[in-house]
Amino acid sequence: MIAVYLLLLIPLAGMLFLSRVRDSHQAGRINIRFNSLSLVASLWLAVDVLLEGPILSHSQMLYIDSFNVYLIALTAFVGLTTSIFSGPYMAHEQELGKVGKKRLRLYYTMYQGFMLAMYLVLTTNNMGVMWVAMEGATLATVLLVSLYRTPESVEAAWKYFILCGVGIAQALFGTVLLYFAAEQVHGIQETALLWTVLHEHASSLNPGVMSIAFVFLLVGYGTKIGLVPLHNWLPDAHSEGPTPMSAILSGLLLNDALYAVVRCKMLVDGSLGNHQAGNLMMGFGLLSFLVAALFLHRQTDIKRLFSYSSIEHMGLMTFAFGIGSPWATFAALFHMTTHSLTKSAIFVTVGYASQLAKTQRIEKIRGLIRTQPSIGWGLLIGTIAIAGFPPFGVFASEFLVLVATMNDYPWLTPLLLIGIGIAFAGLFRHIQPIVYGDVPEGQTAIRANMLPVMIHLGIVLFLGLAIPAFLGNWFNQATLLISGKLPL
Amino acid sequence: MALFFAYLSVVAALASGLAALAVDKSPGLGRFAHWLLRRWPKLQVRAAGVFSEAHYAEFHRNSLFVLLGISGVSAVLAGGGALFGGAVTTDTLPLGLPWLNWHIRFDALSGFFYLLIGLVLIAVSLYGPGYVREFEHGRHPLSVLGLFTGLFVAGMELVLLADDTFFFVIAWELMSVSSYFLVAFQHEHASNRRAAFLYLLMAVIGAMAIILAFGVLAGFSGGLTFDHFRTVKLTPVWASVAFVLALFGFGMKAGLVPLHAWLPEAHPVAPSHISALMSGVMLKVAVYGFIRFTFDLLDQVLWQWGGLVLVIGAASTLLGVLYAMMQHDIKRLLAYHSVENIGIIFIGLGLSLIYISEGQQQLGALALVAALLHSLNHALFKSLLFLGAGTIIHQTHEQNIEHLGGLIHRMPKLAVVFLIGTLSIAALPPFNGFVSEWLTFQAALQASGIGGGVLRSMVPTSASVLALAGALTATCFVKLYGVVFLGLPRTRRAATCHESVHRGMLAGPAWLAGLCVLLGVFPTPMIESLNVVTGQLLGVTLPGASALGWLWLTPVAPEVASYSASLVLVGILLTGWVCYQLLYRRGGLEARRADPWDCGFGGLNARMQYTATAFSMPIRRIFEPVFDVEETIEEKKSGPGNFQNTGLHYQLRVSDLAWPYLYAPVARVVTWLSRWVSRIQTGNIRTYIAYSFFTLLILLWGIS
Amino acid sequence: MAITELSHYQQAILLLASLIVLTSFLMLGQSRLLRLVFIFAVQGILLAITTALAADVLDSPHLYISALLTLTLKGIFIPIMLQRLVLNMGLHRDMETLPNPARVMMGGTGLVVFSYYVCLPIVKLSPLITLNTIAISMAVVLLGMLLMITRRQAVAHVVGFMSIENGLFFAAVVSTYGMPMVVELGIAFDVLVAAVLFGVFFFHIRSSIDSLDVDQLNRLNEVEK
Amino acid sequence: MAWLLALLQTLLFIASAPLLAGWLKKVKCRLQNRRAPSLFQPYRDLRKLWRKEPIVAHPASWIFKAAPYIVLSTTVLAASIVPLIAVNLPTAKIADVVVLIGFFALGRFFLALAGMDIGTAFGGMGSSREMTVSALAEPAMLMAVFTLAMSASTTNLSVAMNYVLHTGLVLRPSFVFAMLGMMLVAVAETGRIPVDNPTTHLELTMIHEAMILEYSGRYLGMIEWASQIKLMLYGVLIVNIFFPWGIAQNFSPEALGFGALALTLKLAALTVVLGLSEVLFAKMRIFRVQEFLSFAYLLSLLGMLSHIILEVRH
C-alpha cells in the first residue's frame, strides 16, 4: 500500500527538486536517481499485487489490479532507461547549443511531471482524476515538444496542444455522461466515478447513455492514442520534440491512453452486453493500422517514420482489444509491453543516429554499420524486432493477433496480412539504406551509451523466446480481468 | 537417440554461430586458456601457440567450420536414425508462451530432411575454411558471416523439429531473417541491398500466409499444437482455404512461379557456400513445410488441389529452365534452375495429391517418394554446382560466363567434379537426377487409373512438359559447361587462373559428387528407407520397389517398369572398354595434334568461338513470348555520307516476365495508395479539428 | 410536462441554457476578437450563475466553490488575459470575416437539432425536464468545435476551446449537479494551466510566424511537395 | 542361354545397322535415278575410317576424345534393350523406354560438349542447334511413348510388344497418331531431311555435321556407326511397336529365323518410306524445325487424347 503512495510522491518530489537544480549535468543524474527510485517502488508494488491480489486504497481513490500493475512497472522501467539515455543526449544537445540551461531545467522538471501524470493515470480509481491526469500529461509535455523553439517545433507543439485539448475535452464530456449514468443507479451517488464501483454495477448502467459516453471517450482518448483520423498531432510532436521525449511519448503516453480506453470499454461492455464498443475499437484500430502502414512509405524524416510505426502498432493493439477474445487480449497486453520496450529502444538509437549524421533526414543518413557498428546494428535489430520478426517478442503478440483474428473474423485477416506486408516494406525500404551502404563524408562516430537499447532489446528477445511464469501469470490475470476468460 | 543427435546438431550449429563472435578476441581467450590449463604447462604452451596472433585467425576459422561439420555429421546420424529406425519421438521444451511450450516431434519425414541438411552441411564445412579466407581481411567482418550461418542452419533444423505452430513459425522466421543477413552480407552493391530487401519482404508475406494457414486449423481445433491439427475435421471450403494459404506461403519460399522472381536475385548475391545452403537446403525446408502441412496436418485431400499444384509445378519447371537459359551470371543461372527443380518436386507432389484424392494411396506414395528423392538429389547436385561456381569465382573473380572458357585445362579436378554435377542435374542416366525424374515419369504414367478424363489428360501433358524441361536443362548445361570449361579462355583471368590451393574447396564438392553417383547407381536402398516416410504419412509403402533384387528398381511392378542403374553403368563401361580395346589397343594409330579447321583463313581466336548468348539464341527465338526481350543495335558510321560502318554495338537484355506483370504493378499500387492517403494530412490544424468533429458526428449518428 | 408546470428554478435553468447557446451562436458569428472575448466572458458568467443557482436550490455547498472558480476563471481571469494579449499584439483592429456566416449559422442550428436527436434516449431516461439541457450542452461543445474550425485566429481557437469547456461544465452542473470536488478542482487547475500555456504559446507562434494565423502553421504535412 | 541370346541379338543389331544405311542410300539413288554404291559401302567406309590416323585439334580436352566412346556405348546399350527379333529377352529389363531416351540424351550431351570443346564457331553452332532440336523432339517422343505405355500400361518395351501381339489386330486411332508422331521425331533425331542433311557440309545448313566437324579417323568412325545404329533403332522401334507381328516369342531356331525375316521385310519397307520422304521434301530452315516438331508433338498429343477419349471405358 505504501508503495503506491511512494510511487506518486517520488516523482512529485523529483519535480519540485529538479525545478531548482541549476547544473544540467547534475540534473540529469538526479533524474536518473528519481526514476530508479520509482522503479523500485513500482516493483515493490508489483510484488504486493502479485502476492495479495488487487489493492484498493482506503479512500478508494487508488486501485491497483493485475492489469495496471504491469503497466506501472513498464512505465517505471522505460522511464528509467530513457532517463539514462537522455542525460548524455541532452548534454550533447546543449553542447550543440540547441537548448539553454533554463530550458534543460524545464525539461527535467517536466520529465518528472510527466512521469507523475502517467503514474496517476495508471493508479487512480477515479475516472475523473484519470481524465485530469491525462490532461496533465499533455500540459507537461507540450512545452517539451517546443523545447527547441524552432518554428516547426512550435507549430508541432501548438497542434499537439489544441488537438489533444479538444480531444481530451470530449473525453471529459464522456466522463460526465458516465457519471450521469452512474447517478441514475441508486446507492452509488457519492462514489459514482470510482471505476471499481462502476465496474461492479456495470450491468445496471443505462446502455443508451453509456454508448454515447463511450463514443466521446473513444474519440477523446483515441486522439491521445493516435487513432486515424485523430492522429495528426502525433508524428509532428514526435519528430520535433527532443528524442527522449519521443521515446517516452511513444512508449508510455500512448499505452496509458489505450489503458484508459480499455478501462472504459470494460464498463461499456458490462452495460451494453453486446460487442458495439469492441466493433468501434476494431474499426478504428484497423483503419489506423492500414493508413499508418501506407504513410510509412512516404517519410523523409526518420523520427516521423517511427512515429507512424507507433500509430500502426497502437492501431493493432486497439484492434486486438476490440476483438476481445482471450487470445487477442493476451496478445494486446503483451504487445503493449514489447512495443513500448522496442519502440523506446529504437528512438534512443535513432536519436544517436541523427546526432551522428547531424540530421534527421533519411536520405542523408547512410552506412551506419560502417560508421558506428553498435548504432547500426542496434537500429537494424530494433527495426527487425518492431517489424515483428521472431524470436523477438513483438512477433509473439502479432502472431496471436493473427490467429485470434483468424478465429473470430477470418474475413479481416487479408487486410491484416496486406497491412503487415505494406508496413514492413515501408519501414524497411527506409531503414536498410540507412544501415547498409557506403558512408557519406562528414559522418563520424560519436560517444553513445547503447546500454538502454541492449537491455530493452535483450528483454524483448527473451520475451519472444520464453515468458517467465510470473509475467505470464500477470498477463493471464489481466486477460481474465478484461476478457473474462483465460487463454487456453 | 535420434532426437539426441538432432539436438546435438542444433547446438553445434548455434555454437559455431556464437564462436564466430570471438573472431578478434584472441588475447582474452589466450589468457582464459592460460588460466584454464595452469595445471598442465605442456598444454599451456600449445594453447599459447594457438592463441598467438599468427595462428589464431586460422584456428578460429577452422573451429567455426569444424563445429558446423559436427552439426552436419550429427544431423546425418539423427536423420539416419529416424529414417531407418522408423521411430517417432516427441518432446517439449520449457520455452514459448506460458500456455504453449515448444513442442518437438522427430519422425521419418523430419529425419529425411535432416539427412539432407546434414549431407550438404558436411560439404559446406569442408569447403568453408578455404572459401571464407578472403573475408578475413576486408570490409566484411567474418563474425557476422559465421554468426548468421550458425543461426541459419539452426533455424532450418528447428523448423524440422517443430510440432506446434508458434515454434514452427519462430524457427521458420529465424531461418529467413538470418539468411537475410547473409544475403545482405556484401552490401556495398546497391543491387545486393535491393535483392536482400526483396528477399525479406517476400519472407514476411510468405510467413504471414503460413501463419494464417495454421490459423485456420487453430480456429477449428481450438489449439495451436500439431496434434490438435491432426485430429481436426474441416469443411472442404476451409480446408481449401488453408491449403491455398499454405501453398502460397511455402511456395513463395520455395520459389514457385509466379512468386519466384526474388529467388534468382537473392540466392546468388550471398557468399557461395551460403548460396549452396539456401538453394540446396532452404528450399527443401519449404518443401518439407508443404508436405508436413498437406500430407500430415490436413485431414483431407481434394483433387483440385493436386491439379493446381501440378499446373504450378509444371509452369515453374518450364519457365525456370527457360529463364535459366538466358542467364550469363553463373550463380543466377543456377538459382533459376532451382526454380525449375522445385517445379519438378511439386509436379511429384501434385501427382501424389491427385492419386491420394482418387483413393490410390499406392500411387500417391510412389509420387511422394519421387518428390522426396528429387529433393534429396537436387540438394546434392545443386549444392555441388554452387560450391563449384564459388570456386570458379574465387579463382577467377569472374561471375559472367562470357568471360570464362577453357577452365578444364587449368582446373582439371574441378572440371571432373563439376561435370558430374552437370550430368546429374541434366537428369542423364546413370546419375541421381535421372532416377527421381524417372520415378516421376512412372508416377505420371499410371494416370490411366484416374477417374476424371481432364486429369487423365493433364497428367501426361505435365509429364511431357517435364520431358521438355529435362531436355532444355541438358541444353542449358551444355551451354554452361561448354562455355565455362571448354573451348578457349575468353579473358586473361580465365587464362591464368589455377586450381584452388585449399584442399577442402575441392573435397566439399567431391563428397557431394560421390553421393550423386552413389545415389544414381544404387537408388534402391534410399527408396526402401523412404518407405518409412510414406508409411508414417500415408500408411502405405512400395512393396515391389526391389522385387528383382536390390540392383533393380521396380517402383510399381517388374513387368510395368524396371531400371537397373548399376547394370547400365556396367554396360556403358564394358562397351566403351571393348571399343577402346578393339579400335585403339589393337593397332589403332596414336592421335595427332593439329590446328582446328579454320576454313583456310587461319588465326582462330577466342573471340570467334560461340558465346553463351549465341548458344541460347535459338531457344530465345522459339520461346519468344515468355521473355521480356530488349534488343538494340547501334551502328557507328563515318566517312563521307556515313556510308561505312566503323563500329557495331549489339545489346541484349532478357528479363523475367514476373517483374513487369506481377511485382511492378503491386509496387505501383502501393505507392499510389500511399500518395493518395497522405493527402489527408494537410498540415492545417483546422482540417484536423474538422476530422475529429466529423468523426464524432458520424459515430454519434451511427450509434443512435 | 410543459414548462408552465415547472418550478422557477427549473425555468431559470432552461432560460440560462438558452442564453448560453445564444452566446455560442454570437461567438460563431462574431468577427471582432475583442467582442468575441467579451461574449466569452458573458458565457462564463452565465455558467457561474447557473452553478450558483444549482448550488442554492440543491444546497450542495461544493457547487458554490465551483461557481466561484468558474466566475474567476472563465468569467474574469481568462477573458482579461485574452484581452490583454489581443491589445498587446494589436490584433483588435484586424477583423476576420467568415466566408459566408449564414451557412455557418445554419450549420450551428443543425448541430443543435442533431445533439437533441442524439440525446433523446438520455432525455427519456427520467421525467426530469432539465435533462434537455444535456442536449444544449452538447450543442455548445459542438458549436465550440465549429468555431475552431471556421476561425483562423489562434485567439479565436482558444476562445472556442474554452467555450467547449464551458459546455462540459454546464452539462456537469445541470445533469449531475456537479462532479466530485476533487475532479472539479483538477479540471479547474488544468484549465488554468492551459490558459497560461496559451498565453506563452501566442508569443512563440508570434515570434515564429509573425502573426497568429493558424493557417500559416502548415510546415509539417504529408502533402505532395 | 537367354543372356547369350540377348548378347547375340545386340551384336546382330549393331552389325546390321550399316547395312540398313546402305539400303537407304540405294533406295534414294534409285529414286533419284543415280547409280547406287553397293549395299556394303558403309562397312568399307567404317573400316577406312578406323584405319586412318585420327587428328585432334590443339585445344581439345579429354572430353573430345572420350565422347565418341560414350556415344557409341550408349547407343549400343540402347540397341541391347530393344527387342529386335525376339521379345522376353532379359536385357529388356535393364531399362525401359524412358531410360532409352535417357541413353540418347547422354550420348547427345557428350557429343555437344565435344562440339564446344574445340572452341570454333562450327562446333558451338552445331551443338546449339542439335540440343535445341532434340529438346523440342523429346516431349513429342515421350508423348508418343506414353500413348503406347498407357494402353499397354507398361514402359517395358518387350512387355508392351507382347501386349500388342496378344491383343491381336486392333485398329487404335491413338496408335496411328502416335506412330506418325514417332516417325517425325525419328526423322529429327536421326538428322535426316527435312530437318538436317547428313550429306551437306554447308555451314549454315548443317546441324549434326557441324558438331562433329573436328572428328576424324576412328573417332569419326565410331560416331558414324553410332548414328547408323540410332537410325536403325528408331526404325526397329517403330516397326516392332506398331507392327510387332512375326517377332519371335520363344527361342526356337525357326521362330527366330522367321522373326529375322519379318523384321528385314518390315525395315526394308519402312526405309523405302523414309527414302521417299527424303526425296520428296527439301531441307527446311532451322527456325521452321520448331513447327515441324510441334506438329509431331501435336500428333502424339492427339494420340494420347484419342486414347483417353475413345479407347477407355468411362
Taken in order B7, B9, B13, B18, is the CA torsion positive or negative?
positive
- Give chain D's largest Cα–Cα span: 64
CA C20 – CA C161 distance, rounded (Å): 15
Tens digit of pLDDT for each residue in D280-300? 988 888 888 888 999 999 999
Q: pLDDT tens for residues A329-382? A: 999 999 999 999 999 999 999 999 988 888 889 988 998 888 888 899 999 999
Residues of C in contact with B697 (CB under 8 A): 114, 142
Q: Where in the sequence is the domain holding B668, given as residue range(s)?
A: 661-703
Distance CA B141, CA A35 (A): 39
Is the Cβ pair C146, B700 closer than 8 Å? no
Q: Say if the Cβ atoms of C145 and B689 lie within 8 Å.
A: yes
Where are the alpha helices (H) located in chain C, listed in sequence order? 8-29, 33-57, 61-70, 78-88, 101-124, 132-150, 154-176, 181-208
Please list every residue in chain B whose beta carbon sits closer than 8 Å to the beta carbon of residue C222.
Answer: 678-681, 683
B6-31 CB burial, b ≥16 within 10 A, e <16: bbbbbbbbbbbbebbebbeebeebbe
Q: Tell me which of D103, D116, D150 to substitute to probe the interface with B (most B C-beta atoms closer than 10 Å).
A: D116
- State how far residue A258 is from chain B, nearest Cα, in angstroms: 17
* Residue with more model confidence, C125 or C101: C101
Interface of A with C in 230-259 (CB under 8 A): 235-236, 239-240
Question: What pLDDT, on the 0 to 100 scale, is given for residue B139?
Answer: 64
Distance between first and last Cα of chain C: 60
ipTM: 0.90
Q: Would B567 be classed as within a structural domain?
A: no
Residue A118 confidence (pLDDT): 94
On average, the pLDDT of chain B sits at 89
Smallest Cβ distance to B448: which of D52, D135, D150?
D150
Assess contact for A260 and A170: CB atoms under 8 A. Answer: no
Residues from chain B that touch D305, judged by Cβ atoms under 8 A, are 457
Q: If you average pLDDT over residues C124-152, what whole number do you get?
A: 82
C-alpha angle with apex A344: A341 to A346, nearest 5 degrees? Answer: 105
Asked if the structure places residue A484 within a domain, the reply is: yes
Mean local confidence (pLDDT), B429-437: 92
The verdict on whether omega for the bond into residue D194 sits within 30 degrees of 0, i.e. cis, is yes
Helical spans, DSSP H, in B522-584: 523-538, 565-579
CA distance B579 to B348: 39
Of B428, B475, B486, the CB nearest to D63: B486
Mean pLDDT value of segment C149-174: 89
Q: How many domains does the structure of chain A reveal?
A: 1
Residues B654 and B669 in one domain: no
The distance of B672 to chain C (nearest Cα, Å) reads 12
pLDDT over threshold 90, residue B22: no
Asked if residue D244 has a cis previous peptide bond (ω within 30° of 0), the answer is no
Average pLDDT score over residue span B538-566? 82
Q: Is the dihedral of CA A257, A258, A264, A267 positive or negative?
A: negative
**Stretch 176-235 of chain A: residues touching chain C, C-beta under 8 Å:** 176-177, 179-180, 183-184, 190, 193, 206, 208-209, 212, 235
- Find the residue in B nearest to C219 (Cα): B683
Residue B369 lies in a domain: no
As a whole number of angstroms, the distance between CA B376 and CA B113 comes to 8
In a domain, C125, yes or no: yes
- Whether C94 shows a pLDDT value over 80: the answer reads no
Q: How confident is the model at residue B135 (pLDDT cuts 50, 70, 90)?
A: confident
Residue C129, pLDDT > 80, answer no
What pLDDT shows up at residue B140? 67
Count of domains for chain C: 1
Contact (CB<8Å) D119/B457: no
Which 600-619 residues of chain B touch chain D by CB within 8 A? 604, 606, 608-611, 614-619
pTM: 0.92
Across chain D, what does the average pLDDT equal? 89
- Output B45 or B474, whichever has higher pLDDT: B474
Which of B324, B363, B362, B365 lies closest to B343 in space, CA to CA?
B324
Q: Indicate yes or no: CB of A402 within 8 angstroms of CB of B215.
A: yes
Nearest-neighbour CA in chain C from B677: distance (Å): 9
Please report where in the chains the cell 459515430 appears, as a residue.
B699
Residue labelled with grid coordinates 444535456: C134
Per the structure, the count of domains in chain B is: 2
pLDDT at position A25 is: 86
Residue B139, phi then psi, degrees to nearest 5: -85, -10
Residue A435 forms part of a structural domain: yes
Which residues make beta-bridge pairs with B636?
B647
Interchain contact D211–B (C-beta under 8 A): no
Q: What is the pLDDT of residue B137?
A: 65
Q: Which residue of A has its CA nearest to B192?
A: A437
Burial zone of A43 (CB within 10 Å; 0-12 exposed, 13-18 middle, 19+ buried): middle
Contacts of D259 (CB under 8 A, 6+ apart): D85, D86, D246, D247, D248
Q: Is residue C128 part of a domain?
A: yes
Q: Do chains D and C touch (3 or more CB pairs under 8 A)?
A: no
Taking the C-alpha atoms of residue A471 and residue A73, their distance in angstroms, rounded to an integer, is 11
| Contacting residues of B for D106, CB less than 8 Å apart | 423, 428-429
Percent residues over pLDDT 70 in chain D? 99
pLDDT for the residue D151: 85
Assess contact for A107 and A144: CB atoms under 8 A: yes
Tell me how long chain B is: 704
Q: Please check the confidence at residue A74 and state whether its pLDDT lies above 90.
A: yes
Neighbours of chain B (3+ CB pairs under 8 A): A, C, D
Of A150, A208, A239, the CB nearest to C122: A208
Please tell me the distance from the alpha carbon of residue B276 to that of residue B156, in angstroms, as a whole number: 14
Q: Do chains A and B touch (3 or more CB pairs under 8 A)?
A: yes
| Cβ B696 vs Cβ A215: under 8 Å | yes
Handedness of CA C42, C46, C52, C56 (dihedral sign): positive
The answer to whether residue A191 sits within a structural domain is no
What is the extent of the structural domain holding C46? 8-92+99-213
C88 lies in some domain: yes
Q: What is residue C131's predicted lDDT score, i.e. its pLDDT?
A: 67
* Residue A386 confidence class, pLDDT cut points 50, 70, 90: very high
Q: Helix, strand, or coil here: D206?
A: coil
The backbone region for B427, taken as left when phi is positive above 0, alpha when psi lies in -120 to 50, beta otherwise, is: left
Counting Cα atoms < 13 Å in the Cβ hemisphere of B365 gives: 24
Residue B687 φ/ψ, nearest 5 degrees: -60, -45
Q: How far is A74 from chain C (nearest CA, A)?
A: 26
Query: Which residues are CB-neighbours of B215 under 8 A, at least 6 positions away?
Result: A402, A403, A405, A406, A407, A413
**D12 pLDDT tier (thresholds 50, 70, 90):** very high
Pair A45, A72: CB distance under 8 Å: yes
| Amino acid in position C207 | S
Maximum separation of any 2 CA atoms in chain C, in Å: 64
Task: Establish if A110 belongs to a structural domain.
Answer: no
Amino acid at residue number A71: L
Cβ-defined contact of C118 to B690 (cutoff 8 Å): no
Stretch among B131-145, B250-264, B302-316 having the lowest mean pLDDT = B131-145
State the pLDDT confidence band at B490, using cuts at 50, 70 and 90: very high
Q: Are A123 and A54 in contact (CB under 8 A)?
A: no
Please say whether the beta carbons of D218 and D151 come within 8 A.
no
| Cell numbers that stand for A432 in this block | 536498410
Please give the average per-residue pLDDT across D57-84, as a whole number.
93
Predicted local confidence at residue B49, as pLDDT: 73
Angle at B178 between CA B172 and CA B180, to 5 degrees: 100
Cα separation, B630 vs B624, whole angstroms = 11
Cell of C102: 449564414
Helix (H, G, I), strand (E, B) or coil at B400: strand
Per-residue model confidence (pLDDT) at position C1: 54
Q: How far is B296 from chain A (nearest CA, A)?
A: 20
A15, A21 Cβ separation under 8 angstroms? no
Give the three cell numbers for residue D68: 565418341
* Candidates C125, C162, C173, C208, partner chain A, best to mutate (most A CBs within 10 A): C208
Q: Following DSSP, what letter does each residue of C1-35 receive, concatenated?
A: --GGGS-HHHHHHHHHHHHHHHHHHHHHH---HHH
Residue C17, domain member (yes or no): yes
Smallest CA–CA distance from A220 into chain B, residue: B692
Q: Is the dihedral of CA D143, D148, D152, D157 positive or negative?
A: negative
Distance, CA of B142 to CA of B138 (rounded, Å):
9
D159: closest chain B residue by CA: B559
Residue of B nearest to D212 (CA): B597
Chain A residue nearest residue C186, CA to CA: A132
Print the domain residue range for A290: 275-488
A-chain residues near B244 (CB < 8 A): none
Interface test with A, best of B95, B189, B208, B666 (most A CBs within 10 A): B208
Q: Is residue B292 part of a domain?
A: no
Assess B205–A contact: CB distance below 8 Å, yes or no: yes
CA B561 to mean position of chain CA atoms: 30
Contact C218 B692 (CB under 8 A): no
A159:C122 CB<8 A: no
The pLDDT score that the predictor gives to residue C225 is: 59
> Which of D77, D163, D202, D212 has the most B C-beta neighbours within 10 Å, making it the best mutation to test the interface with B?
D77
pLDDT one-digit tens code per residue, C34-91:
889 999 999 999 999 988 988 888 777 888 888 998 899 888 999 999 998 888 888 8
Chain B contacts of C205, Cβ < 8 Å?
none
